[in-house]
Structure 1
């Protein structure tokens, strides 16, 4: 156990803490007053194990002023009635603080001896909430450790934007399940649980167990990598040269149970053993040498907070361009050209035939020999807002505490904004692998723009590492999706008086039997396959979505239109399914109509084609992306289509789909993407080891 400091950047806190009366307004957020030091003083005095505050003298964490006359600010009346190891975390929305602490009092062995409190100590953490760090809720005692634990020491927390939960971690000695009295010999290891509200926690899991006692972990995140600093609690008599010093490790995934080694014996050259891990401030960059070791991602010439603000500015501009699929995207494309040119990145445009729309390709970094490196791909068009009930202008970005709202924010201008923010701030002279941005038009109506780029992309063979398509997947890495084709079959006859109906072909009657073969094929797909169990619906399907014909009951219909959609698993070609339906319509059904009229006709038209996509989950590029992004869950498969089928299946470029937001949030009124998803996207893209 140790005395532990915590530096939390505060906003105009000094006057608030010193002078604010109860019930006063929250502190102003116009300027920083300093760092808040939340601490306890130890078990030497009766009130030493309660919470105190000190404030730094401006931006100087070496000189402090005690607040509240040095007296406790928070005291405990629950559990062991002592508070040690306080830790404060701010919510990602910035509207709330949580303070957690160890439930333990060692003054005159109030809770027992050091051995006793590690066998029969508290299994809970103490929790408070505040909106201003001055006025706190009543304390609450929340159990987080398992029944096999003997103690719950030094809790800390970190917000995980991937899980969208807080990860709370602490040290516990764990005893055998058949040792309910905890009489055996064991050691401390680090555990964690997750929570959204510090009231309800997941089941605890072991986080760090090197086979000997470790305590007091702390974490800081830098450019998508989590760095964990943990005290080696072995006794110096064990012979370990690192006992009582710090071990540093890293991982792309906060809850990873096997962090990679960085260094041990940290602090051993500086004198006495450490009393807990160092705590870098989130607002102060680590020392230059430390950052050089930590960063192997994309070299961005700004802080994380500046990059995030820059991304939101860009997103506002992108949403402001109405790029509904039937409209031009050139205003947006020219904006992107200018933005990238400002950082020395040239763009190529690939036009549609009418030159009203364009695809954009731009490469940053070493492009010798036409190298394309890692491609970031997104489409610029959005679906219409017609008929939707929006609460405000769809093409004006609105920001709430936790979301960005506007047409295309989820699908997929949020991803494009992240790409542009990074590329416009990247020191591309320091890139060791190129990054190529590819923006397309008319994805929403059949991947038209990407289809026109296929031949160009085929020329990149041998000069491209792979492609990330940033469709909204909740930042999960997707390695497969179904394909989709839309078809229209039109039955045409002669519009005449209904009195002559027995002598004429009826297009509606002729079209109706098309549903029978479609239904039979669907049942065949369901029972006989082919099957692909990677999808929730593991077979292909034909959906007849619209039948439209006729004017009035007293007129023989002139025509009947049948619109249908085919969704196919990757191993089942859409073209084959469509050919069967087309053959039936233009064969037996047309023959039946022509038996009554030579002018009867059946025509077929393919309206769109989004090819299916599949790449092996253990493909080298998939592994590269997952390791860089810190993905621990298995790659997944989704039911919606993307341009990945063209990029991977037709152009031959290894591809994954991964982007911010969720498909359930796309195409809707008040479409939105969570700000945490955008932050996570920036973290992941900048973590790619290309610098």
Structure 2
């Protein structure tokens, strides 16, 4: 009986260890301390690891905003972030095997070919398994390049992108998404083969809310922009697949709190903010999954 009980306990332990854990990259204002991480076992309730893991050392302002993490097929974690509010022509990059020990930081000057670029905001990583490459998207303003609404010309963003297989060589920067309005904070989501969703903030006035668009490749084009499914003054969407649903977290910055909606088809959305728990002070990052042993290393 004791031997059977031990076998059952061992099996339960191994099964538990094999499960993935949700991680949420983060930063706290004023963004000069560095990378923070939270974890969750169910995608709804989050626990802050309560320390920083990489201090920003590059860029004009040497800040780390909007940290985005994605893991390659070799297990390496790649990180990109906003390194300045304005005047930088690129963003920060570093890599790690365990989210604890990081490579030297590098500045990736993706907009240096556009001398009037005002900013490079919220770079977002997406591993395109079909093309075996990383797609990096971000928002930039190039004054007098695109039509705009009532916002200022220096706040008229469009999404740009580059791709890379090794983070040493990159394809030339291209326009990624021009919905005929100012757009920032975009996230690529893959539902299945040839079925992608772009979750983004309509940053035009008076909208300032979150919408989705649809495409058949990770690099677009994305079309059929939806109506907003959040109220005004929301931004920084982060998306996680939880069971059969998708959770879209967002920063309700006027209310100074995080909200979330649940969707099955990216057409109808249910507010589940009261079912979630996000630590106070958390700001715009991305949600990704890790093996439980990675979390164990972070906890120790």
TM-score range, shorter chain: 0.5 to 0.7
Residues 1:230 and 2:217 are matched in the alignment: no
Establish whether residue 63 from structure 1 lines up as the match of residue 32 from structure 2.
no
Q: Indicate which of 85, 100, 106 corresponds to 1:140.
A: 106
Matched, 1:266 2:229: yes
Shift of 1:216: 0.4
Deviation at 1:59, TM superposition (A): 2.2
C-alpha distance in structure 2 between counterparts of 1:216 and 1:193, whole Å: 16
Q: How far 1:37 moved relative to its partner?
A: 2.2
Runs of 4+ in 1 over 6 A off after TM superposition: none
- Return closer, same or farther for 1:52/1:185 CA change in 2, 3 Å cut-off: same
- In the alignment of these two chains, the number of paired residues is 227
Going from structure 1 to structure 2, the CA distance change for 1:262 and 1:285 (only over 3 Å counts) comes to: farther
| Contact map agreement 1:152 1:172 (CA 8 A) in 2 | yes
Structure 2 distance, partners of 1:287, 1:229, is 12
- Who is 2:271 aligned against? none
**Are 2:17 and 1:36 aligned?**
no
**1:257-406 → structure 2 map (5 Å cutoff):** 257=221, 259-261=222-224, 263-268=226-231, 273-277=233-237, 279-282=238-241, 284-286=243-245, 290-292=263-265
CA–CA distance in 2 between the matches of 1:281 and 1:37?
10
Structure in which a larger fraction of residues adopt strand: 2
TM-score by length of 2: 0.68
Partner secondary structure for residue 263 of structure 1: coil
The DSSP-based 3-state class of the residue aligned with 2:264 is helix
Deviation at 1:205, TM superposition (A): 0.8
CA separation in 2, counterparts of 1:160 and 1:291?
Answer: 22
The alpha-carbon distance between structure 1 residues 76 and 163, as it changes in their structure 2 partners (threshold 3 A), is same
Which residues in structure 2 correspond to 1:492-641 (within 5 Å)?
A: none
2:214 aligned with 1:244, yes or no? no
Distance in 1 between residues matched to 2:246 and 2:107, nearest whole Å: 38
Describe the superposition over 1:188-208 as per-residue Cα deviations: whole angstroms up to 9, x where unpaired. Answer: 100011111223211111111
If each structure's helix is expressed as a fraction of its own residues, which one has the higher value?
A: 1
Report how far residue 150 of structure 1 moved. 1.7
* Structure with more contact order per residue of length (Cα contacts < 8 Å, sep ≥ 6): 2
> Who is 1:97 aligned against?
77
Q: Which has the higher Rg, Structure 1 or Structure 2? A: 1
Between the aligned partners of 2:168 and 2:137, the Cα distance in structure 1 is 15
User: What secondary structure sits across from 2:245 in the alignment?
Assistant: coil
Any conservation in 1 of the 2:71–2:77 contact (CA below 8 Å)? Answer: yes
User: Contact 1:220/1:282 (CA < 8 Å) preserved in 2?
Assistant: no
User: Alpha-carbon deviations, 1:621-677, whole Å to 9, x = none?
Assistant: xxxxxxxxxxxxxxxxxxxxxxxxxxxxxxxxxxxxxxxxxxxxxxxxxxxxxxxxx
**CA 1:282/1:260 → structure 2, altered by over 3 Å: closer, same or farther?**
same
TM-score w.r.t. structure 1 length? 0.31
